[in-house]
């Protein structure tokens, strides 16, 4: 999953990024509203973390502009503005959730996962296909009750495939949602990760869940 942080306080932005990367997310950063709007319009994100008080273009106007353009990416506003009126203004601008600074990263992390889950219309936090279970909050993977160890990127690729189960997912889609802005999408790294995932997820099981759709991409199906 890929997240955009639009926050002009570099130290706070880097702290949030560090925590999200450790949690397996790909993260891009913007330090003013105009840069944030450009990235949100041109790149594919699963969530935008947005400050209100930004140089060049404030977060309220940025969010309103995205909604006017029918960009449906979930927005979590994170700001020092804490009055009821501020929260109402943030939610009325099109934000999906609102947190005030300072905040607990544990709560922030839970809200991030909840917003992503809601955007995919998922009720349970655990993703399931056949006898495969993936828990994004616990970063755990089990198949047939057996624990499977994955690297952070392997986990991210598998999570993306499961969030789009039964759909064909192209390599470009995986790149856009699992790697950050600096990734070289021309490499064969996607195929390498899928081969590794197959060995770990499908190895030893008669039923193969990760399928290759030749010339198109991959999908996970029951």
pLDDT score for 49: 97
Q: Can you name the CATH fold of 2-119?
A: Rossmann fold (3.40.50)
Each residue's pLDDT tens digit, 87-113: 888 889 999 999 988 888 889 988 998
User: Which whole number is the average pLDDT over 159-173?
Assistant: 87
Please report the DSSP string for the chain in residue order: -EEEEE-S-HHHHHHHHHHHHHTT-EEEEESSHHHHHHHHHHS--SEEEE-SS-SSS-HHHHHHHHHHTT----EEEEES--SHHHHHHHHHTT-SEEEESS--HHHHHHHHHHHHHHHTT-SSSSEEETTEEEETTTTEEEETTEE----HHHHHHHHHHHHTTTS-EEHHHHHHHHS-TT--TTSSHHHHHHHHHHHHHTTT-SS--EEEETTTEEEE--
pLDDT score for 200: 93
User: Which whole number is the average pLDDT over 164-186?
Assistant: 79
pLDDT score for 123: 66
Residue-range domain boundaries for the chain: 2-119, 127-220
Each residue's pLDDT tens digit, 125-162: 889 999 999 998 888 999 999 999 998 889 988 999 99
pLDDT score for 184: 65
CB count within 10 Å of CB 164 equals 17
Nearest-angstrom CA–CA distance, 204 and 192 = 19
pTM: predicted TM-score of the whole model, two decimal places: 0.73
**Confidence grade of residue 180 (pLDDT, cut at 50, 70, 90):** confident
User: Which whole number is the average pLDDT over 168-182?
Assistant: 82
CATH architecture group of domain 127-220: Orthogonal Bundle (1.10)
- Judge contact between 87 and 96, C-beta under 8 A: no
pLDDT score for 115: 92
């Amino acid at each position: 999953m890929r997240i955009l942080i639009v926050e002009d306080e570099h130290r706070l932005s880097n702290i949030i990024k560090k925590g999200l990367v450790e949690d397996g997310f790909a993260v891009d950063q913007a330090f003013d509203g105009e840069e944030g709007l450009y990235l949100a319009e041109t790149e594919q994100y699963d969530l935008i973390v947005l400050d209100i008080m930004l140089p060049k273009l404030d977060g309220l106007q940025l969010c309103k502009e995205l909604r006017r353009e029918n960009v449906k990416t979930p927005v979590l506003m994170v700001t020092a503005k804490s009055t009821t009126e501020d929260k109402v203004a943030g939610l009325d601008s099109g934000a999906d959730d609102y947190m005030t600074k300072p905040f607990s990263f544990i709560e922030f992390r839970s809200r991030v996962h909840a917003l992503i889950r809601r955007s995919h219309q998922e009720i349970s936090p655990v993703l399931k296909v056949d006898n495969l279970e993936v828990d994004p909050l616990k970063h755990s993977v089990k198949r047939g009750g057996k624990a499977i160890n994955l690297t952070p990127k392997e986990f991210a690729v598998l999570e993306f495939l499961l969030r789009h189960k039964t759909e064909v997912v192209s390599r470009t889609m995986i790149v856009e949602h699992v790697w950050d802005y600096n990734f070289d999408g021309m490499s064969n790294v996607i195929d390498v990760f899928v081969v590794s995932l197959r060995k770990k997820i499908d190895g030893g099981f008669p039923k193969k869940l990760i399928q290759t759709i030749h010339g198109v991409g991959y999908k996970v199906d029951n």
